[in-house]
Amino acid sequence: MSSLTVFPRLLRVASVLLAWRLDEIVEAAHLFRPLKLVRPFFGKPRPDVDTLPRGARLRGAMTELGPIFVKAGQVLSTRRDLIPADIADELALLQDQVPPFPGSEARAIVERELKQPVTTLFARFDETALASASIAQVHAATLRDGREVVVKVLRPGIAKRIANDVALLRSLGELVNRWHPNADKIRPLEVVAEVEKMLENELDLQREGASASLLKRNFESGVDMYVPAVEWDYTTDGVLTLERVYGVSCDDVAAIDAAGIDRKALAVKGVRVFYEQVFRDNFFHADAHPGNVWVDLARKDDPRFIALDFGIMGSLPEADQYWLAQNFIALFERDYFRIAQLHIDAGWMPPHLRVDELAAAVRTVCEPYFTRPLSQISIAELVVKLFRTAQKFELTLQPQLILLQKTLLNIEGVGRMLDPDIDIWAVAHPVLERILRERYSLRRTLKEARKRLPEWINAAPQFPELVRDALKQAARGEVRSVSDPLALLQQAELARRQQRVLGGALLGGSLLIAAALLWTLAPQQGVWPPLVAASAGLLAFAFTWPRRR
């Protein structure tokens, strides 16, 4: 996007911000310092905004600026570690407000994408949209075999509009990056990249279909949560066809009560479903606002949720997932020292940080919460506070964790809406422990090891060469020279760990290869010889493998 097109749009952004009397916010955020100077050229502020709190004014401006700003605001609302709570609360309320595009256009797009007339594809296609949002629109239809479906269609020209607005956001991000004194903490370019990635994913409906399929597989029984099936023969990048489901939004408490559904049981299921997604499957719905979480009114005795909208899904690297689970358990057990140690071990804190100092800071944040009954303590709120504390100690926050934090807030919100007395701790703790017991059991570890065996055998011939190269490098003294004593200490520690790992890897690898050979070449010897060798190999790995950094 050229500056010729960016500039008028930047002016429009400035005029909307000023119309909503947001100059103080913009100034406080060290954005456009000279904004006040240009105010006289932009006309008068809106007459009705003076009485509104600043968060509501910002929400109004974002809504007026359009869908991409709405999305950016929604992303920002999750950064409670960065922005004040009153603004985050308002931004979290941002909703798309866009009129539907004509049904005839939707029909034409479906025909172009699926390469057949709608009358051939469907027994019925409803041209009046069922729902319309900034990126896509949903139409009801019936397949030729009588099954009811919904067809989600991307807005015409949306990819180009998004590309333009993202370029504008990037320019704004660069301004903040250059001028804001806390730019290294806010990392605006990362926030923009996050918005961009989110929008890119939402533009690919085939990908959304694949996410829906995976989530459906993970909740195959459909007891606690039902996921609509994807109709792959009617799905492309630009059109997604799903089984039509019926239910009410989970915040429609009146309808849920009228249907005689046990809200308390449902709330417990909501918390359980969340922990299963994050810690059992490592694949979670990251846009779980009430509009996307429905309740199946047809199931009175054994209530369940229905999930919708699979455009934003999250998953964590396995090591982070394990780290997070350990943190949660430590939090449930009020083991602050362990939380501090875990943060340092994860390598997200400066290595010279004293664990007792961090533990004291964590205790200071958490302890006041525990004077309240557990039912009144929000885990999500506590996690936000913990992240804030850790940031004071220079924690680098991973984007996936931010997504998770937002999901945690959403799910707690749903749980408390359904049952204001829910004790989320009492529900979450045993669920988490059970999942972790299953996930990290010996049997599962051995199964994983067996799966990776061919890979290890394949890599085995290169092993001696790699070791020889490593030893040669060490002998040549190819170690960076450093003058900082702290860095020297770290380097010595690193070298010690590397030696340990190298020794362990040699011993463990050799034993595992021996086990594999015994297993494959001498099956008549029974399972014991390979099992003993493999266990010894795994032990060698386990005892010498470094803790997470």
Pick from 27, 96, 174, 381: which binds ligand ATP (CB under 6 A)?
96
Residue with Cβ nearer ligand ATP (409 or 512): 409
Q: Which stretch binds ligand ATP (CB under 6 A): 16-24, 132-140, 182-190, 317-325?
A: 132-140
Instruction: Provide DSSP, 383-413.
Output: HHHHHHHHHHTTPPPPHHHHHHHHHHHHHHH
Site membership for ligand ATP, residue 228 (CB under 6 A): yes
Site membership for ligand ATP, residue 308 (CB under 6 A): yes
Site membership for ligand ATP, residue 133 (CB under 6 A): yes
Pick from 236, 292, 389, 405: which binds ligand ATP (CB under 6 A)?
292
Question: Measured between alpha carbons, how far is residue 212 from residues 162, 285, 387, 474, 527 in Å?
Answer: 24, 10, 31, 50, 41
Q: Coil, helix or strand for 140? A: strand
Residue with Cβ nearer ligand ATP (152 or 263): 152
Question: Residue 34 has what DSSP assignment?
Answer: T
Angle value at C-alpha 264, between 260 and 270, nearest 5 degrees: 110
We find the least distance from the C-beta atom of residue 286 to ligand ATP, in angstroms, to be 12
We find the least distance from the C-beta atom of residue 244 to ligand ATP, in angstroms, to be 4
Instruction: Provide DSSP, 306-362.
Output: EE---SSEE---HHHHHHHHHHHHHHHTT-HHHHHHHHHHTT-S-TT--HHHHHHHH
The structure tokens listed for 469 are 């190269």
**294 forms bridges with which residues in the sheet?**
249, 306
We find the least distance from the C-beta atom of residue 246 to ligand ATP, in angstroms, to be 7
Q: Which stretch binds ligand ATP (CB under 6 A): 9-17, 53-61, 126-134, 326-334?
A: 126-134
Smallest CA-to-CA distance from 231 within 116, 146, 151 is with: 151
Q: Which stretch binds ligand ATP (CB under 6 A): 28-36, 183-191, 238-246, 453-461?
A: 238-246
We find the least distance from the C-beta atom of residue 141 to ligand ATP, in angstroms, to be 11
Q: Tokens 């055998």 label which residue?
A: 457
We find the least distance from the C-beta atom of residue 152 to ligand ATP, in angstroms, to be 6
We find the least distance from the C-beta atom of residue 285 to ligand ATP, in angstroms, to be 11
Q: For residue 4, what is the enclosing H or E element? A: helix 3-19
We find the least distance from the C-beta atom of residue 372 to ligand ATP, in angstroms, to be 34
Cα separation, 68 vs 78, whole angstroms: 16
Site membership for ligand ATP, residue 138 (CB under 6 A): yes
Residue 287 a catalytic site member? yes
We find the least distance from the C-beta atom of residue 129 to ligand ATP, in angstroms, to be 9
User: How many residues lie near ligand ATP (CB under 6 A)?
Assistant: 18
Residue with Cβ nearer ligand ATP (96 or 126): 96
**Catalytic position from the list 287, 296, 309, 320:** 287
Q: Which stretch binds ligand ATP (CB under 6 A): 188-196, 275-283, 304-312, 495-503?
A: 304-312
Smallest CA-to-CA distance from 203 within 145, 263, 152 is with: 152
Residue with Cβ nearer ligand ATP (292 or 405): 292
Site membership for ligand ATP, residue 150 (CB under 6 A): yes
Residues 273, 418 contacting (CB under 8 angstroms) = no
Burial level of 420, CB count in 10 A (0-12/13-18/19+)?
Answer: exposed
Q: Tokens 């689970």 label which residue?
A: 325
Q: Which stretch binds ligand ATP (CB under 6 A): 58-66, 242-250, 435-443, 449-457?
A: 242-250
Pick from 55, 188, 311, 504: which binds ligand ATP (CB under 6 A)?
311
Q: Coil, helix or strand for 62? A: helix
Question: Measured between alpha carbons, how far is residue 263 from residues 226, 413, 446 in Å?
Answer: 17, 14, 41
Residue with Cβ nearer ligand ATP (109 or 138): 138
Residues 140, 244 contacting (CB under 8 angstroms) = yes
Residues that bind ligand ATP (CB under 6 A): 96, 130-131, 133, 135-136, 138, 150, 152, 228, 242, 244-245, 291-292, 308-309, 311
The catalytic site residues sit at 287
